[in-house]
Structure 1
Amino acid sequence: MTKKNNEALEHHSGVWPVMLTPFTENLEIDWKALEKLIDWYIAAGVHGLFANCQSSEMFFLTDKESVALTKFVVDYTDGRVAVVASGHTASAPAQQVEQLQAAAETGVDSVIMISNRLASPDESDAVFLERLQAMTAKIPQKVGVGLYECPYPYKRLLSDEAVKWCAESGRYTFIKDTCCDIKTLTRRAKIVEGSELHIMNANGQTVLESLKAGCHGYSGVMANFHPQLWVWLVENWQSEPEKALLLSEYLTSAALLESLDYPVCAKHYQKSIGNFNTDLSRTRPVAGYYNNHFPTTVMQTLDLGEKIVEMLGISIK
Structure 2
Amino acid sequence: MTIPAPPTGVVPPVCTPLTPDREVDVPSLRRLVDHLTAGGVHGLFVLGSTSEAAYLTDRQRRLVVETVAGHVAGRLPVLAGAIDMTTPRVLDHVRAVTEAGADAVVVAAPFYTRTHPAEIARHYRLVAAAASVPVIAYDIPSAVHTKLPAGLVLELGADGVLAGLKDSSGDLAGFREVVTGARAHPGITAFSALTGSELVVDSALALGADGAVPGLANVDPHGYVRLHRLCRDGEWQRARAEQERLCALFRMTEVGDPARMGGSSAALGAFKAALYLRGVIDCPATAEPQVPLSPEEVERVGKHLAAAGLL
TM-score interval, normalised by the smaller of the two chains: 0.7 to 0.9
Instruction: Name 2:119's counterpart in structure 1.
Output: 127
Instruction: Name 1:229's counterpart in structure 2.
Output: 223
- Which sits farther off after the overlay, 238-247 or 210-219? 238-247
**How far apart are residue 171 of structure 1 and its match?**
4.2
- Which sits farther off after the overlay, 45-54 or 94-103? 94-103
Instruction: Name 1:303's counterpart in structure 2.
Output: 306
Counterparts of 1:285 and 1:291, CA distance in 2: 16
Q: Does 1:280 align with 2:275?
A: no
Please point out which of 6, 17, 20 is paired with 2:15: 20
Please point out which of 265, 272, 285 is paired with 1:267: 272
Which letter maps to 1:95?
A: R
1:255 to 1:232, Cα distance in 2 relative to 1, 3 A:
same
Q: Percent identity?
A: 21
Is the partner of 1:33 in helix, strand or coil? helix
Is contact 1:271-1:278 (8 Å) kept?
Answer: yes
Is the partner of 1:205 in helix, strand or coil? coil
Is contact 2:11-2:45 (8 Å) kept?
Answer: yes
Please point out which of 181, 191, 194 is paired with 1:191: 181
1:137 to 1:251, Cα distance in 2 relative to 1, 3 A:
same
Q: Does 1:207 align with 2:230?
A: no
Is the partner of 1:175 in helix, strand or coil? strand
Q: Note the aligned Cα RMSD (angstroms).
A: 2.3
Name structure 2 gaps, 5 residues minimum. 257-265
- Which sits farther off after the overlay, 252-261 or 102-111? 252-261
Instruction: Name 1:40's counterpart in structure 2.
Output: 35
**How far apart are residue 286 of structure 1 and its match?**
4.7
Q: TM-score, normalised by structure 1?
A: 0.85
Instruction: Name 1:99's counterpart in structure 2.
Output: 93
Counterparts of 1:281 and 1:53, CA distance in 2: 14
Q: Does 1:75 align with 2:78?
A: no
Is contact 1:16-1:50 (8 Å) kept?
Answer: yes
Q: Does 1:157 align with 2:144?
A: no
Aligned residues: 295
**How far apart are residue 151 of structure 1 and its match?**
5.2
Instruction: Name 1:175's counterpart in structure 2.
Output: 165
Instruction: Name 1:315's counterpart in structure 2.
Output: none
Counterparts of 1:244 and 1:112, CA distance in 2: 28
**How far apart are residue 92 of structure 1 and its match?**
4.2
Is the partner of 1:69 in helix, strand or coil? helix
Which letter maps to 1:179?
A: S
Counterparts of 1:155 and 1:231, CA distance in 2: 31
Q: Does 1:137 align with 2:129?
A: yes
Which letter maps to 2:220?
A: H
Counterparts of 1:188 and 1:55, CA distance in 2: 24
